[in-house]
Amino acid sequence: MINMPEWQRCLDAQFGSPKPGQYRAQPEDFWVDEQLDFTPEAYGEHLWLRVEKRNQTTLDVVNTLSRLCGVTPRDIGYSGMKDRIAVTRQWLSVHLPGRDAPPELEQSLNALGITVVEQARHPRKLKRGVHRTNRFVLRLSGEAIENEDFVSRWEALCQHGVPNYFGPQRFGPEGRNLQRAEALLNRGWRKRDDRQGMMLSTARSFLFNELLSARIADGTWSQPLAGDTLMLDGTQSVFRIDASDHTLQARAVELDVHPTGVLWGVGEAGQGDAAGYEARLLEHYPGLCSGLQRSGVKQARRALRMRLLEPQYAREPGAARLSFSLPRGSFATAVLGELMLAN
């Protein structure tokens, strides 16, 4: 069992020490809009609601809709989990076959700080992970933005991409979710102990971040290595390469392809130079790796780098305002970490 100081050392190494500054002084400083690449079809058994919320999690809204509409939480769909301390917009679906929503639904939601922006019917439930991007507008203040290299850091991220870390919120306060995940995997993962798969996700996210940190330290996180699995930008399409060449290197510089890291599970071992980073994970964290394989979760790949889409920067009195879009599953806190690190 890895003790808490060791977990914390690893997390500190992944995320660094931030300069003094604020980015969530109030919910309006952290604005998120979930973007689908399709629209509801205007008919069907499911009522889709695009809502704006403050100081509430997505599951808070799910529970509220369940109570107000007289359905179970399983009858409600959503694509992504959104932050609590933020202003966020996202779609949710409610299964209401053969009946309308309660007439007082919007008024009741408004009284709880949830605004219905638009609504429509659709034949199917909204599934997890179907949104394409999230649009962020962030207001930053404090010492971090006054540093002379702040703007140059931002420009470098726009040009070269951002390390695609899972954000620290994935691991819970002081990394406690990691200890929970390790304990569960050591005794044998069971669905009934981890209904949403959060502990599996926590362990896989930590191992991915460790691999990414190692490749950043070696200067290989943004360039293809022999044996790498590459992901096409803006897609989940991947292909393995036997060797890198000038063409692939140029495509990586242009952010057209990204090296990937393993989301640990059952699957083929890595190959070539890239395989050494996976072997290092197995050497350093055998309990997590073997526990994930025993759980039966299938291996997957995640890009080591993310592109900032439509980035914009504006300076205000005492603050900086950043806006950009990220692919689903990527964390705005990873962008902020690169901008506000002390080193």
> How many angstroms separate the CA atoms of 47 and 140, rounded?
37
Tell me the C-alpha distance between 258 and 218, whole Å: 16
Range(s) of the domain holding residue 200: 168-306
As beta bridge partners, residue 137 has 31, 323
pLDDT in tens, 96-113: 999 999 999 999 999 999
**What pLDDT is attached to residue 250?**
97
pLDDT band at 320 (very low <50, low <70, confident <90, very high): very high
Classify residue 125 by its DSSP letter. P
Mean pLDDT confidence for 299-316: 96
User: Mean of the per-residue pLDDT values for the chain?
Assistant: 90
Q: What pLDDT is attached to residue 26?
A: 86
For residues 74 and 174, membership in a common domain is answered with no
Query: Which DSSP state fits 188?
Result: -
DSSP secondary structure string, 75-138? Answer: GEEES----SSSEEEEEEEEE-TTSPPPTTHHHHHHHTTEEEEEEEEESSPPPTT---EEEEEE
Q: Is the pLDDT of residue 342 over 50?
A: no
For residue 342, how many C-alpha atoms fall within 13 Å in the half-sphere facing its CB?
A: 9
Residue 122 burial by Cβ neighbours in a 10 Å radius (0-12, 13-18, 19+): buried
Active site residue 228: no
Q: Which residue has the higher pLDDT, 332 or 8?
A: 332
Report if residue 30 sits inside a domain: no
Residue 183 falls within a domain, yes or no?
yes
Amino acid 343: pLDDT: 41
303 is written with which tokens? 């890009």
Q: Tokens for 131? A: 């949104």
Looking at per-residue pLDDT, the higher value among 171 and 23 belongs to 171
Q: Are 299 and 263 in contact (CB under 8 A)?
A: yes
Q: For residues 173 and 280, state if they share a domain.
A: yes
Residues in the chain: 343
C-beta neighbour count of 201 within 10 angstroms: 17
Q: Which residues pair with 51 in a beta bridge?
A: 90, 116
Same domain for 92 and 179: no
16 Ramachandran zone, left/alpha/beta (phi>0; psi -120 to 50): left
If asked whether residues 99 and 175 sit together in one domain, one would say no
pLDDT surpasses 70 at 2: no
CATH code of the domain covering residue 181 = 3.30.2340.10
What residues does 53 pair with on adjacent strands?
A: 88, 114
CB 254 within 8 A of CB 234: no
Indicate the SS3 state at residue 68. Answer: helix
Q: How many domains does the chain have?
A: 2
Q: Would you say residue 175 lies in a domain? A: yes
275, pLDDT greater than 70: yes
Same domain, 172 and 302: yes
Do residues 206 and 293 both lie within one domain?
Answer: yes
Task: Supply φ then ψ for residue 272, to 5 degrees.
Answer: 60, -155
pLDDT in tens, 123-161: 999 999 899 999 999 999 888 888 888 999 999 999 999
Residue 1: predicted pLDDT: 52
286 phi/psi in degrees, rounded to 5:
-60, -35
Same domain, 96 and 183: no
Residue 182: its pLDDT value, please? 93
Indicate the pTM of the whole model.
Answer: 0.87
Residue 121: pLDDT above 70? yes
Residue pointed to by tokens 């395989």: 275
**Residue 316 parent element (H or E):** strand 309-316
Round to whole Å and give the CA distance between 114 and 117.
Answer: 9
Q: What span, in angstroms and rounded, lies between the C-alpha atoms of 80 and 82?
A: 6
Cα separation values, 5 from 110, 174, 227, Å: 44, 10, 34
- Using alpha carbons only, give the angle 158, 160, 166 rounded to the nearest 5 degrees: 85
User: How, if at all, do strands 46-54 and 319-327 pair?
Assistant: unpaired
118 and 172 in a single domain? The answer is: no
Give the separation between CA 207 and CA 277, rounded to whole angstroms. Answer: 11
Residue 245 lies in a domain: yes
Give 194-250 pLDDT, tens digit per residue.
Answer: 988 999 999 999 999 999 999 999 999 999 999 999 999 988 899 999 999 999 999
**What is the rounded distance in angstroms from the CA atom of residue 132 to the CA atom of residue 271?**
30
Q: What is the pLDDT of residues 15-51, one digit of tens each?
A: 554 555 677 778 899 999 999 989 999 999 999 999 9
Angle (CA) 162-163-167 rounded to 5° is: 110
Active-site residue, selected from the candidate residues 75, 83, 228, 233: 83
Q: How confident is the model at residue 173 (pLDDT cuts 50, 70, 90)?
A: confident
Tokens of 110: 């408004």
43 and 98 housed in the same domain: yes
Q: Do 176 and 295 share a domain, yes or no?
A: yes
CATH of the domain at 84: 3.30.2350.20
pLDDT of residue 142: 84
Tell me: the pLDDT tens digits for 69-105? 999 999 999 999 888 889 999 999 999 999 999 999 9
Span 58-72, mean pLDDT? 96
Q: Are 275 and 203 in a shared domain?
A: yes
